[in-house]
Chains A and B, each alone.
Chain A
Amino acid sequence: MTKLLFLLPFQAKAALLQGEVPVGCLLVYDGQIIGKGKNGVNFTKNATRHAEMLAIEEALDWCKNRNVAYKEVFARTDLYVNVEPCIMCAGALRISGLRRVVYGCSNERFGGCGSILDVASDQRTTDSQPVLQCVPGIFAETSVQLLKEFYRGQNPNAPNPKVKKAHDIQDIPLPSLEGVQMKDPT
Chain B
Amino acid sequence: MAMTGILRPGHIQLRVLDMDESLNHYCNNVGLIETDRDEQGRVYLKCWDEQDKFSVVLEPSDRSGMDHVAYKVATEQDLWHYESKIKKFGIDTKRVPAGELKGCGERVRFVVPAGHTFELFAEKEQVGNGLSTTNPAPWPRGLKGMEPIRFDHCLLYGNNFDENFKFFTEALDFQLTEQIVDGELQLAAFLTCSTKAHDVAFIRSEKSAQLHHASFLLGSWEGVLKAGDIISMEDIPLETGPTRHGLTRGQTIYFFDPSGNRNEVFAEDSYVYPDSPVLTWTADNIGQAIFYHSRTLVESFMGVTS
Is chain B found bound to chain A in the same assembly?
no
Residues on B facing A (Cβ under 8 Å): none
